[in-house]
Amino acid sequence: MVRTPVHPDKQRGLLERFERLGILERDLEERFVRASGKGGQKLNKTSSCVWLTHKPTGILVKCEESRSQALNRFLARRRLADKLEHQTGERQEEEEKARERIRRNKGRAKRRVRKKLAVSKGESDAG
């Protein structure tokens, strides 16, 4: 029995996040390079560091946490999903702030118009 470094439930969860975020595998460019740091000969011989680029957004993720290439691939994809979720969350906040600003400005404009109407009615009643 071959033991994989990532539990199937976690793999499924990541695939669901990719679907929800609209990330397609064909939009990812993946490169494998030799990692640096602790690990000795294992790191010197194998290309376990993963560089993942999301072509549509240009987001680059590098992962060399593990000596296992398969685990680094999973971790890199998870980081990419995290970055995209964070980025879209910021966009949603900006859009919400813009909507709120427009709503406030419309309220001010309505108050100004009511005030002008009230003043002009007051003048016509007096004359």
Alpha-carbon distance of 53 to 87, in angstroms, equals 15
As a whole number of angstroms, the distance between CA 47 and CA 55 comes to 22
Read off the pLDDT band of 27 (50, 70, 90): very high
Given a cut of 70, whether residue 3 has pLDDT beyond it is no
Q: Note the CATH architecture for domain 8-89.
A: 2-Layer Sandwich (3.30)
Which position has the token pair 């419309």?
106
| Domain spans of the chain, in order of start | 8-89
59, exposed or middle or buried, with CB in 10 Å at 0-12, 13-18, 19+? middle
pTM of the complete model beyond 0.75: no
pLDDT, one tens digit per residue, over 93-115 is: 878 888 999 999 988 888 998 88
